Structure 1
């Protein structure tokens, strides 16, 4: 893929001497990122007890130029945030405050806002269905995109409960024509509804619960974790969001599709970088937690270490278990997915299993919001985990996501092979 890249965007070439010669070189990774329009990225490889590899590539900010920092650069995690929801829910399960298969209306305690499928009212909506994306909740994508607001304005417009009860109720069209539990359909609002259950059962806002009950036990500095921009004393620590526009149609797609974000080009000539201002949205648990790659690596180590100080090994096993034994099909009425080059996916609780191009299975979660593209994976042996966080965009043009996915696979899979072989020695 051709890539016009002026000298200010070239990456510094350094060598991590601790890495085996069998691992992909820094130079090769940089070339792959350049070819995929990735301004900056942080990559970390961990096992249950140690960081095995950590490298920062490229730019935290293009103008003014600022390098990615593994420890200090704060990324908007996008849908990787959902893994915190399952962790919080399983903590409440361990305390016998909630049950995965009980109707959530017993926990929401809202007689005037009951959640049920309008065509299948006898099919309960449960935490298991919410976390495994099998609740049949399908809020229109245009509604979700229309809720993006610059800065922290979205938090001033509506609470988490208000936005969920408005868009997920039996009097809207936000439902699939299938009974809950019968099909899988990725649902941001379903995940956020599970987070609302945590709020109701603990009387603590979900973001504060995550800080106190998940981050603190992992010895993560909670002043460097948040969802609102106001949570951070220095906003310059937050990684800037970018997209790359090859032509005017790419810019038009942003300005027409998401005018609320006020996306602006660096220059009037194409190709050019687009600046995406920092933003928020009310259904924040599904995709707006912000932290550094190094902080996130402690959370991933907890998962690999069978819960560590946060969860029991039984809860980790429950999260990894494929809901419905792999027999719940993806909702695909038009057979669009049958011809798409996408990995096979089976949902556990927030986490999901994918079979990648090396034919190995990984339990993982990816994340994508405007100007951010991430991936967090653990191998089937549950021994090695990899985090890839970046300020690349995979939304415009439409085929960008698939191209970037292939590029990330070409980086991540060799890293797995490298460190898996090192463990065998």
Structure 2
């Protein structure tokens, strides 16, 4: 869920030049790569519109007790890959003429006493297009983001409505010094506000809407999807969260970051694994959707099939189209740090390699998970990597973990996308 997008994109550019198109990754290479980066487990899939071209599970979803990762049964928290579902839900409502992408969202929220607007630019309305493309000028600090996490299901004591209005209101400092619609800045809160619009317009909770209108029509077993721990009859199917600790100071950092959590060491000797308990957060649409890699692949095939049975092809085109025709840049206080290789669509974004190849999809990271889900520019090949790697500490270890996940999915694109040369 966390941003850290600028660091990840820099690493992405570095890696793009290192992957060889002449060598397809084999299981042993991926296994060794995961082990070297201290990633306990992962599931890797390559799909086209109709078939699974590659599917492998590596390592463990639980270290104590030992449980092997499984393509069909292991349930991951999808982190920010969840945001693509918000875009899909909104476009379904657009198709039904229930919402307009360019109308002030306050019209749909129907809370006249709690209007949402930028305090310095009140005439620049907050719209669904701006929320889904991270261009609404909503910005929160890392400290605020860390405060969202609560152990178990306790975060759900606060409703999505209350959480959005608490965080995104003109009386807070959670805004950029730029008018909405002029810059891109990654926002979990903005994406969740778009999901709140889905709730209000559909008269369904957001997760109920996703399961009834997106997952079930695609043939995905909604008994094996959810957001709360209570949504799952067998909690042993849930992939556990871990972080690698070299010394006691690593433990202290985690205790400071997540003081509400009783993060424990698996072994008394260092280095060791830290087990992060299952957690949640009230703005759950931005990162807490839980499902298996197989289910996620079914969803991604919908995208490859131009909407399949749940969206019109024009809606897929709209989600893929960069906001502002790609002319709106990622915000940085230092203009020299502007990121020109990221273009935001609606719930999806584009990454451009240094050789000009482009991929649309989403990455995701939260404590104990790092994921990637991307589609090539021709929209005929998708790659999913779901892993238990942790990059939330912003250390050299985090960089190596992110590099490993990126290397894996880029090498698979190089291998299976035979028309790229």
- Give SS of 2:379's match: coil
383, 402, 418: which one pairs with 1:386? 383
Preserved contact between residue 372 and residue 409 of structure 2 (Cα < 8 Å): no
Shift of residue 406 of structure 1?
A: 2.1
CA–CA distance in structure 2, aligned partners of residues 370 and 109 of structure 1 = 35
Whether the aligned pair in 1 keeps the contact of 2:342 and 2:349 (CA below 8 Å) is yes
Segment of structure 1 superposing worse, 140-149 or 86-95: 140-149
- 1:392 Cα offset (Å): 1.2
Equivalent residue, structure 1, for 2:33: 32
Partner of 2:327: 327
Q: Distance in 2 between matches of 1:319 and 1:227?
A: 24
Alpha-carbon distance in structure 2 between the residues aligned to 1:61 and 1:343: 39
Alignment of 1:345-356 (within 5 A): 345-356=342-353
Q: Which residue of 1 aligns with 2:87?
A: 86
8 A contact 2:151–2:261 mirrored in 1: yes
Residue 14 of structure 1 corresponds to none
Q: Equivalences for 1:139-178 in 2 at 5 Å?
A: 139-156=140-157, 158-178=158-178
**1:416 equivalenced with 2:413 (yes/no):** yes
Inter-partner Cα distance in structure 2 for 1:409 and 1:80: 15
The alpha-carbon deviation at position 336 of structure 1 amounts to: 7.8
Gaps of 5+ in 2: 1-21
Deviation, structure 1 residue 140: 2.8
Match of 1:214 in 2: 214
SS at match of 1:368: strand
- Name the SS of the counterpart of 1:186 in structure 2: coil
Partner SS state of residue 178, structure 1: coil
For residues 357 and 38 of structure 1, do their structure 2 counterparts lie closer, same or farther at Cα, with a shift above 3 Å needed?
A: farther
SS at match of 1:171: coil
- Once superposed, which parts of structure 1, at least 4 consecutive aligned residues long, lie more than 6 Å away? none
Structure number with the bigger relative contact order (C-alpha 8 A, sep ≥ 6) is 2
The 1-side partners of 2:337 and 2:33 are apart by: 27
Alpha-carbon offset, residue 397 of structure 1: 4.5
The 2-side partners of 1:44 and 1:387 are apart by 5
1:62–1:335 Cα change, 3 Å: farther
- Alpha-carbon distance in 2 for matches of 1:268, 1:401: 23
Deviation at 1:118, TM superposition (A): 0.4
Match of 2:54 in 1: 53
Give secondary structure in 2 for the equivalent of 1:387: strand
2:366 paired with 1:372 = no
Alignment-derived partner of residue 341 in structure 2: 344
Task: Tell me how large the CA RMSD over aligned residues is.
Answer: 1.8
Structure 1 unaligned blocks of 5 or more: 1-20
Residue 197 of structure 2 corresponds to which residue in structure 1?
197
Correspondence list, 1:123-272, <5 A: 123-156=124-157, 158-272=158-272
Match in the other structure for 2:275: 275
For the Cα contact (< 8 Å) 1:104–1:126, is it kept in 2?
yes
Tell me what 1:113 maps to: 114
- The number of residues matched between the two structures is 401
Pairwise CA distance, 1:419 = 1.5
Q: Does the C-alpha gap of structure 1 residues 207 and 361 become closer, same or farther in structure 2, counting only changes over 3 Å?
A: same
Cα displacement (A) at 1:372: 0.6
| Aligned mates of 2:74, 2:337 — CA distance in 1 | 36
C-alpha contact (below 8 Å) 1:343/1:356 kept by paired residues: no
TM-aligned CA deviation for residue 97 of structure 1: 0.3
Quote the residue 1:44 is aligned against: 45
State the alpha-carbon separation in 2 of the partners of residues 249 and 77 from structure 1: 28
Q: What's the secondary structure of 2:137's corresponding residue?
A: coil
Q: Any idea what the Cα deviations from partners look like across 1:307-355, whole Å, max 9, x if unmatched? A: 00110100000000000111112111035846xxx88211001100002
